[in-house]
Structures are given as C-alpha cells and as structure tokens.
Structure 1
Amino acid sequence: MNKMMTLRQSVALGALALALTAPGLGQAETPEIEALITAARAEPPLSVYDSTGKITEMADAFAAKYGLQATGTKVKAEAQIEMMLREAQAGNVQGDVSIISDAPSVIGQLLPVGAAVSYLPPDLAPKIPEDFQNPLVVVTTANVWAYNAELASECPVSNIWQLTEPEWNGKVAMQDPLGKSIYTDWFSQMEATADDKVAAAYVAQYGKPLETDQGSATKAWVKAMAQNAPVLGSSDSAAAEAVGAPGQSVAFMGMMSSAKFRENTAKGYKLGLCADIQPFAGFSNAGVGVIAAGTDSPNAARLFIHYVLTAEGIAPQAEDGKISSNSDVALPADEPSGVGKVLDRMLPYRISNAMADWDSRQDWQDFWRLNYRK
C-alpha cells in the first residue's frame, strides 16, 4: 500500500480514536497515548528537524521520557522544505517530523503535493486556537524591537515612524528581507491585518493624516525604512550584537527574535525590550509542525507532535520567549526578554493570511530592493 496513503489513514484513524475515547484533559497521559507509546516502540528511530538548536535537547528529552530513539537536528526552514519535497519525490523519507518557521511555504509547497500532513492531537484541540489548527502551529516566535539598555534607561523610540527619520539613518539593525522571508511576511501581514494601525501611528507621531501614493500606510513605512539605510545582516545574532554589545557609544535600534535576549547573560549584552513602541512592539511568526507523509514511524511522529504541545515538551524553546500554541502553557517567569508582558502589543501572525504572504513575497522583495539605500 502507498506509504503516503497509509499515514493519512493512520493519522485519521488515530485522531478518531482519541476524539471518541479520550478521558479528562487534566490527565497527564491517556490510555490512547499509552497505545501510541507502545506502537512507537516497534517503529524505527525518529528524526526531527527545527530551525533552532533547542530541537536536539527536545528530541533527547522525548526519547528519554518514552523509551524511544529520536534525533533532533537544527536545519533552516528553507532547507527543511527542500528536504521534505526531495525525499517525498524520491520515496526515501529520512526526516519524520519538521517544525518549520515558514507557514506560507508549508501551505504553498508541502501540503498541496502531499509531501507532509498536519496532525492535531484531539485531546489538545480545545487548547489550540482555531486559526492554528490546520495546519497545526506548534509555537510562535516573537520578533521584537530592542535597544541598548546601557546607553539609555528606556527605549529611545516610541513610534515606528521615528525609525524613518534622519536621527536613525544607518542605525537600525535587522535581517535582510531579501534573505529572510519572515520579514516580507511581516510586511504582508501588517498591510493585510493592521494597515489602519500603521496609519494611526503616523498621525500620533506627526499630528496629521498620512498622505502617500504607495497604496497603503504599510508600504509607505516600508519604503521610508528601506530608504533610511538600515544595517542589514544574515542573522538575528548580527542584529543582537549591533544593538546590545556592551561598551558602545552610538545607540542602535534593532529587530530580532526574543531568543537573542539570552545573550545578556551568555555574552554580557545589554539588550532592552521596547515594550511601548507604537503600533506594535514587534511581530510574530509561526512554527508549523508537520509529519512526513512517507514516514515509517507514524506513531512516534504523532507522539512527538503531542509532546511538543505540552509544557514539558516546549520548555527549551519557552525559555527563549517562544510561545506554545497550547493556551495552557505559559512562558517561564524568568524568560530573559520579558516578551510575555507585551504579547497584547505584538502583531500576531494570522495563518488565514499565509497564502497571501506566499503569493506576495516576490512583490515585497522587489519593493524592498527598489527602495533600499545604504
């Protein structure tokens, strides 16, 4: 029987069994989870991928908890997509589970050709927002505006339009939108879901309505940002160093993952979170969990998806300010960035807009390329 069809049927039947028989949600492990564990132990070792190195720790903890063999490997989102497509086409699946921080690519490339399937554990479904269920979002990453707290006692910027002014020319560090698709997705999401808030922020800053021929307030802001010579890099690490390295005399602002605030302890950085910048303190992107359609470890794969939706499973990433889609799972009180206190001030990621993000990527890249000035 075709392996892809076998997994789809297996996922569907497993989901039905859990939905019909799962006991109270407060129990740590249901009889159905015990059945998954038993079946998983008869399967080959599990291979899981994520774009964070924390996946190694997560896979090791999963294996120890359930008496299984599992290996976690850090692989960039773009490479994960390519690997899953290539392995599916060759009928030679090596990676069983991927957590991919590129929802538009999952929806636009993987799922339509049947290279991967989305699995939502029925016993956890009531805890997952509807928008995050299909495909399943496992975790969201907060990307925040940051400043150097050694040079200022509070964030020197209160409005994103200030970053387009001469004072901040050449002093805003971020990843290059031509190489990091979550940035073009950010632009797309902001235009589609919060353009009115970008326009209102302009009024708040300048006391008059925005007049622009760009078609949207978001495009006007992106153009102005691009023309203000932001310092572009290939990683959040570069932005974190530019903004937070100690001993600086010139203040930089930057956009980066909340995970980089751990460098305050590891490297003595002085990163501070801009909690009150209008209209948003930052934006979120989604990590989608998918199972390779041709996996020969479908039970172990489903068990791993269930595990990472628990507080125990996602703990290594929660320490970096990454937010579980399970509403029962909170960030640790000592998470370094403090992003948990400003989640209501973030631009949330809307899966419902993911295909529009996918379709508009090239347009946003061309728009950035046309307007960027060094």
Structure 2
Amino acid sequence: MISAKRMVKLSALALAVGLGAPHVRAADDVHALIEAAKKEKPINVYDSTGKIVEMAEGFTKKYGLKATGVKVSANNQLEMIIRESQADNVQGDVALITDTPAALAQLLPQGFVQSYLPDDMKAKIPSEFQNPLAISTNANVWAYNTEVHDKCPVANLWEITEPKWKGKVALVDPLTKSTYTDWFNQMEKHADGKVSDAYKALYGKPLQTKEKSASAAWIKAVAANAPLLVEGDDPASEAIGAPGQKTPFFGLLSSAKFRDNKDKGYKLGLCKELQPWVGWTYTKLGLIASKTKSPNMAKLFIRYVLTEEGITPQMKDGKLPTNIDVKMPADEPSGLVAVSNRLFAYEASTGLADFEHREEWQDFWRLNYSK
C-alpha cells in the first residue's frame, strides 16, 4: 500500500509533468452543448448533501435531460469514483466533492476525473477556484445558544482553552472528518501569525510555547480541555442549540445547521464578532468522470450548478457560490453572508500538503485529547 506521503509526492510529480487529467474544454456555443447532450444517456450526480436531488430535478426540468442526484459521502465518493473507473463501469458521471486534498492527490493526477470550466464562466469564477473547479465554499462556524446568551459568550478563540470552558465546547471529532485536520494544517501554514496575535490580544503578552507553531499550541490546548466530540453536525447542533438548556455547549458546526432553528425550534446564534475568525471554509469541487459515456451532459450540469438557478438549493444552507455574480438569498438562515469576509478561507494551492499531513494532525489530536 502506498503511504499518504508517497501518494502526495507521486501526485505532485504527475501534475508537474502534465500526467494529470487534462482540463476539459467546452464548446463555446452553449446551444451546441445542449444539442450534443440530447444524444447522450442520462447521468448520475454524486454529492454529500441531499440537496443534490433537488438540483438534479431542476436540471432535468430546465433542459429535458434526465439527471439523478445521489447523496454519497465524500469518503464513499472517492472509493466509488476510483473503483468505477478501474472497472470501466462509471455510474457517477459528475462528482461534487468536498474532499479537495484527496481529489488533488488521488483523483485528478491518476486521471479518474477531469476538471471543466465553461468558457463563458471564466470571468465569473475567481482564479483560485478555477483549476480544479470549485463550485462553492462551505463553512463551519462557531455558534452559541441565543435562549441562554444575549450575545456570543466567547470573544476570542483562545478563551475556549480556559478552565471555564472545560467540557463545554462541542465539535465534530477531527479523527472522523478530514476537513478538520485540513483546517489545522491550513491554519498553521497560512495564518499562524493571526493565532499568536489573538493570544496576545487576549492576554496582553506574547505566546510562549514549545509546540512547533501557535496553531499547534491552540489545537493542543483545545484538545486537552475535554471538548465534546460528536459524530456529525446534527448532534453538534443539538448540543449547542436545543432549547430548554441551562448550560448549553458552545461549538463548531456547519452553517447548514442553522435551518434547525426553523425546522426544530433550536436557538442557534452565529458568533459574528469572534476573533480571529467566525469560522472557516472548505471547497466543493465539480468534477467529471473521465470515462463517462455522457460527457456533454456532464459539462452542461457543471455549467448549471455554476448559475444561480442551479446552486440556489445549496445556498439556502449557507453554501457560498464561487460565481461572483450570484448573490446569497436574503433569507439564508445563518446570516453568514454579512460576515463572510471574516471566515478563514481555504487555499487549495496547498491542498496536497493538507493531504500529506492528515495522519500527523490526527496523531497530534489523539495524543493531546482529554475526556
């Protein structure tokens, strides 16, 4: 078995010498693309959110071309894409996948998938989201219970390492969700100075640590403060926002969970003033299976999800479109758009390093976690 570090080195080499999957080029004429798609078989689209069903139905209604949305976790998407390609039996023609580092390390260089950006969308998608194409940025944000607190009870993230928050912070277990260890690596690589600055702002003195970085020092302190580790965003939402609690948890969860306020009567509030960030993002890529029998329909679907009509079902859950012309709906439950500039943004340029260091961060968390 090839180690993660070896896989990263091979992938980086493949990309450098052009062995990775080429960028699929679009026909300039959208109408020609539609006509070509009409001659192809129906497609399946993988995504980790159930909203893909609604999106595929919208595509079918708009173009009269059958697309079926299939909810598949990012981890399962990776395995399915690879096995389907190796067996020459592609079932998922399009993959909307949130595991950018794994896509960069495992899917694109080996040619299992291709990244495609429609020519008429190039001016609308910022360069950092173009290759590979990201259709949206997803956010995990810090939240509190508005029934108990009239404002966010935490002003600086270093506060949650203090004794008063011992055992009262809820988050998804970093050992079960790789976006969390990717966040650790991104924070250390791109924003370590802000982490140390936040420490000084709170305590009035520079951070002194034997750890390799300020980010590592903060992560270690959080782990040692006995946070409640949950299996997903649903239990995190309940721990933080369920009504009737005297001492609810403070915590981290997907911005999509703010719909629980309406659906379940929860009392989730977004920590809009939290320093140094209100949350962090990761990207969702739009990729096409290289061996799809319906390449034009797959291209058309990618183009569709880059439009307001196509991405709206996910925007309702706080997913931020990469198309700069598309505006978030005013009734998006979390209110994230007002503070989107205060999110720690994911940088795919170092995604291979995130993949390489996942096991190291998992070991670091495991070593320092205290119940």
C-alpha contact (below 8 Å) 1:164/1:228 kept by paired residues: yes
After TM superposition, the structure 1 = structure 2 runs for residues 121-136 of structure 1, keeping only pairs within 5 Å, are 121-136=118-133
After TM superposition, the structure 1 = structure 2 runs for residues 352-371 of structure 1, keeping only pairs within 5 Å, are 352-371=349-368
Matched with 2:258 is 261
**Structure 2: how far apart are the matches of 1:212 and 1:311?**
47
Structure 1 gap ranges (5+): 1-7, 19-31
Matched with 2:181 is 184
Question: Are positions 1:110 and 2:107 aligned together?
Answer: yes
C-alpha contact (below 8 Å) 1:96/1:297 kept by paired residues: yes
Question: Are positions 1:175 and 2:172 aligned together?
Answer: yes
**Structure 1: how far apart are the matches of 2:169 and 2:204?**
24
**Structure 2: how far apart are the matches of 1:90 and 1:36?**
28
Provide, for residues 14-58 of structure 1, a one-character-per-residue CA deviation record: whole Å limited to 9, x for no partner: x3x42xxxxxxxxxxxxx111111111111111001000000000
C-alpha contact (below 8 Å) 1:10/1:298 kept by paired residues: no
Matched with 1:279 is 276
C-alpha contact (below 8 Å) 1:48/1:72 kept by paired residues: yes
Provide, for residues 110-164 of structure 1, a one-character-per-residue CA deviation record: whole Å limited to 9, x for no partner: 0111000000111111111111111000111111000000001100000000001
After TM superposition, the structure 1 = structure 2 runs for residues 12-23 of structure 1, keeping only pairs within 5 Å, are 12=25, 15=26, 17-18=27-28
Residue type matched to 1:93 in 2? V
Deviation at 1:353, TM superposition (A): 1.4
Question: Are positions 1:141 and 2:120 aligned together?
Answer: no
**Structure 1: how far apart are the matches of 2:184 and 2:336?**
21
C-alpha contact (below 8 Å) 2:137/2:283 kept by paired residues: yes
Provide, for residues 225-258 of structure 1, a one-character-per-residue CA deviation record: whole Å limited to 9, x for no partner: 0000110111111100000000001131110110
C-alpha contact (below 8 Å) 2:22/2:114 kept by paired residues: no
Residue type matched to 1:181 in 2? S
Residue type matched to 2:67 in 1? A
Question: Are positions 1:241 and 2:238 aligned together?
Answer: yes
Deviation at 1:9, TM superposition (A): 8.3
Question: Are positions 1:11 and 2:24 aligned together?
Answer: yes
Provide closer, same or farther for how the CA distance between residues 10 and 300 of structure 1 changes in structure 2, counting only shifts above 3 A. Answer: farther
Provide closer, same or farther for how the CA distance between residues 139 and 225 of structure 1 changes in structure 2, counting only shifts above 3 A. Answer: same
Deviation at 1:274, TM superposition (A): 0.3
Question: Are positions 1:36 and 2:33 aligned together?
Answer: yes
TM-score normalized with structure 2 length? 0.93
TM-score normalized with structure 1 length? 0.93
Deviation at 1:267, TM superposition (A): 0.1
Deviation at 1:344, TM superposition (A): 0.9
Matched with 1:24 is none
Of 77, 81, 84, the match for 2:78: 81
CA RMSD of aligned residues (A): 1.0
C-alpha contact (below 8 Å) 1:174/1:256 kept by paired residues: yes
C-alpha contact (below 8 Å) 2:140/2:252 kept by paired residues: yes
Matched with 1:25 is none
Provide, for residues 66-97 of structure 1, a one-character-per-residue CA deviation record: whole Å limited to 9, x for no partner: 00111001100010010000011111111100
**Structure 1: how far apart are the matches of 2:106 and 2:23?**
23
**Structure 2: how far apart are the matches of 1:239 and 1:97?**
30
1:126 is paired with a residue whose SS is coil
Matched with 1:230 is 227
Of 196, 212, 223, the match for 1:215: 212
Of 155, 159, 174, the match for 2:156: 159
Deviation at 1:10, TM superposition (A): 9.9
Residue type matched to 2:78 in 1? I
Structure 2 gap ranges (5+): 1-20
Residue type matched to 2:369 in 1? Y
Deviation at 1:215, TM superposition (A): 1.1
Question: Are positions 1:63 and 2:76 aligned together?
Answer: no
Number of paired residues? 351
Provide, for residues 298-325 of structure 1, a one-character-per-residue CA deviation record: whole Å limited to 9, x for no partner: 0000000000000010000001110011
Residue type matched to 1:39 in 2? A
Matched with 2:298 is 301
